[in-house]
Amino acid sequence: MSNAIQEFSRFAHEYDTYNVIQAAVAKSLVKQLDSSYFTTLIDMGCGSGEVYKNLEKQEVSFEHFIALDSSKEMLAIHPSGKKIEKICADFNLPQTFERLTLEEDSLLLSSSALQWSRNLDYTLSEISKKVSSVHFSIFTSNTFKTLHQTAKITSPIYSAEVLKDSIGKYYEATFELREYKLHFETVREMFNYIKKSGVSGGEQQLSYKQTKQLMKQYPLDYLEFEVLFVRGVSLEARSV
Ligand SMILES: C[S@@+](CC[C@H](N)C(=O)[O-])C[C@H]1O[C@@H](n2cnc3c(N)ncnc32)[C@H](O)[C@@H]1O
């Protein structure tokens, strides 16, 4: 698989699409599945259903799909159906894992969500006790790298090294790091995108004045994203 940087352009007429990169990431994640049939799939941080929609498009079938998200609003717009179970729960909390029962051969999917785990070791360790196979994508701290360097702030999310170390404690895993660039016509659009995309750049650490300054100084006409794709099999003896 190519590691070439994937480039996207976001033009003014596309003002509705604030999830260009997440959509591309979810599509790649589903494309990498090595089977077209699963008994149970669970999507952690399912959002409005990018993963589910790609499973449908790519004709991947399953008996049971669990869509888990901590946002009721997101779950409300996630596709519904006989095979779909929606769970409103937070992957940072023990009760989420206490009430989760999964079949032996379940596969955990997650796209662009686990970077919001407050304690990655905790979340991964709980997941590894519940499902042995995982396949997920997670944004790294190189997302908005130049923006952070220009503003002299640190990323609020984990680096690829920290992610790999933490994942390696619970999973026998293979990794693929991918870079994306999203081009913009104006700096203003770029900053609006950051605000609305849900991929926070840590810019909330900046005052209005500092943001204005950053918009003047930012040297690129694109935003950078880095995503770690992970396939893993749990090292833990299964406890369910
Ligand atoms: C960037 S969106 C990605 C959504 C979808 N997976 C996709 O690929 O488009 C991140 C999702 O994770 C959810 N999320 C964030 N923190 C969470 C948590 N602690 N527990 C469960 N879901 C969470 C958010 O509500 C949001 O729907």
DSSP secondary structure, 123-190, as one string: HHHHHHHH-SEEEEEEE-TTTTHHHHHHHT---SS--HHHHHHHHHHHEEEEEEEEEEEEEESSHHHH
Task: Tell me the residue type at 178.
Answer: R
Going from the Cα of 198 to the center of ligand 1, the distance in angstroms, rounded, reads 9
What does DSSP say about strands 133-139 and 222-234: parallel, antiparallel, or unpaired? antiparallel
Q: Ligand 1 test: best mutation among 19, 57, 75, 112, most atoms within 8 Å of CB?
A: 112
Going from the Cα of 18 to the center of ligand 1, the distance in angstroms, rounded, reads 14
pLDDT in tens, 46-65: 999 999 999 999 999 999 99
Answer yes or no: is pLDDT of 228 > 70: yes
The larger pLDDT score, comparing residue 193 to residue 18, is at 193
Q: What's the rounded mean pLDDT across residues 153-165? A: 93
Q: Which atom of ligand 1 is nearest to the CA of 74?
A: 27
- Which residues form ligand 1's pocket by a CB distance below 6 Å? 19, 22, 26, 45-47, 50-51, 69-71, 74, 90-92, 111-113, 116, 198
Whether the predicted model's global pTM rises above the 0.75 cut: yes
CA 162 to chain CA centroid, nearest Å: 16
Q: Which atom of ligand 1 is nearest to the CA of 116?
A: 16
Task: Look over the chain and give the mean of its residue pLDDT values, rounded to a whole number.
Answer: 88
Q: Write the DSSP string, 3-37.
A: -PPEEEEE-GGGTT---HHHHHHHHHHHHT-S-SE
Q: What's the rounded mean pLDDT across residues 64-68? A: 98
Least confident of 67-71, 166-170, 234-238: 234-238
Q: Which DSSP letter does residue 56 get?
A: H
* Check whether domain 6-234 has CATH 3.40.50.150, yes or no: yes
- Per-residue model confidence (pLDDT) at position 199: 60
| Residue ranges covered by each domain of the chain | 6-234
The larger pLDDT score, comparing residue 19 to residue 204, is at 19
Going from the Cα of 230 to the center of ligand 1, the distance in angstroms, rounded, reads 17
